Amino acid sequence: MNSTPTYRRVLLKVSGEALMGRRDYGQDPETVSRIAADIAEVVHLDVQVCLVIGGGNIFRGVSAAATGMDRAQADYIGMLATVMNALAMQNALEQLGIPTRVQSAIPMASVCEPYIRRRAERHLEKGRVVIFAAGTGNPFFTTDTAAALRAAEMRCNALLKGTQVDGIYAADPRRDPTAERYQRLDYHDLLARDLRVMDTSAVSLARDNNVPIVVFNIHNPGGFAQVMRGDGRFTVVDRTAAGETEKVAG
């Protein structure tokens, strides 16, 4: 096992749904604590970590807009949901002794800091986990795009996307057990094959700023640290990939 981290500074993108555990709505404290423990393990590897957490476990702006709500208004509500998730994760991390700061793109000084790029970088340099909340602060942008933006701004070595499966597949492996898993992909291949791991704006932003995207299973305990060591199962999206695939075992 490789003990040296592959990346020095990373941004972890976690969906709001990942915090639900087996619940149908909201946050499952046990799941939040387990993900926090995984993040703490990576921090102890001397990796600088920042996060973007979605809000879909509480409110999804796109779904609300589809039922007739004004899209911009719905997106703002969704941004507030991400702040709630960020504060919950901050609490879980600090219970583990990990110093954490929440920075919101929508100023709310009573509960967290405003987003200031240089201050966020300083927090990371001091070993603090920084959680970026409220997306980009603008409607019509997803938290995937916010993650790619913050990863570029923080000069991260990689953007990690924690998902329900252990990489990018040609089809949903939960429905098609024979689906092939890509070990490595080029940004262009990811977009051309319409694999929909992240929205096109996020992928394009990562490509333009040469930020590799690493997709892994957030529900695998210890999986985050494994990826940091170059172990386990995951998919890397970058400029040098040749579109290699490997067959899903079993």
How far apart are alpha carbons 57 and 85 in whole angstroms?
9
How far apart are alpha carbons 181 and 166 in whole angstroms?
9
pTM: 0.93
CB within 8 Å of 49: residues ≥ 6 apart: 9, 10, 11, 12, 39, 42, 43, 124, 129, 130
Residue spans of beta strands (DSSP E) within 88-206: 100-104, 113-114, 129-133, 158-163, 168-169, 180-182, 184-186
How far apart are alpha carbons 27 and 141 in whole angstroms?
23
Q: Are 157 and 9 in contact (CB under 8 A)?
A: yes
How far apart are alpha carbons 236 and 69 in whole angstroms?
37
Residue 2: the pLDDT is 59
Residue 151: the pLDDT is 98
Q: Which helix (H) or strand (E) holds 236?
A: strand 235-238
Set out the domains of the chain in order of their start, with CATH numbers: 9-247 (3.40.1160.10)
Residue 247: the pLDDT is 47
Helix/strand/coil for 214: strand
Query: What are the angstrom distances between the C-alpha of 116 and each of 29, 121, 140?
Result: 29, 9, 22
Per-run averaged pLDDT (10 residues), the chain, 250 residues: 84 96 93 98 97 93 80 94 97 98 97 98 98 97 97 98 94 88 93 91 97 97 96 92 48
Residue 64: the pLDDT is 77
Token pair belonging to 210: 């040469």
Residue 235: the pLDDT is 96
Residue 250: the pLDDT is 37
Per-position DSSP letters for 10-54, written without gaps between them: EEEEE-GGGGGTT-SSS--HHHHHHHHHHHHHHHTTT-EEEEEE-
Residue 221: the pLDDT is 94
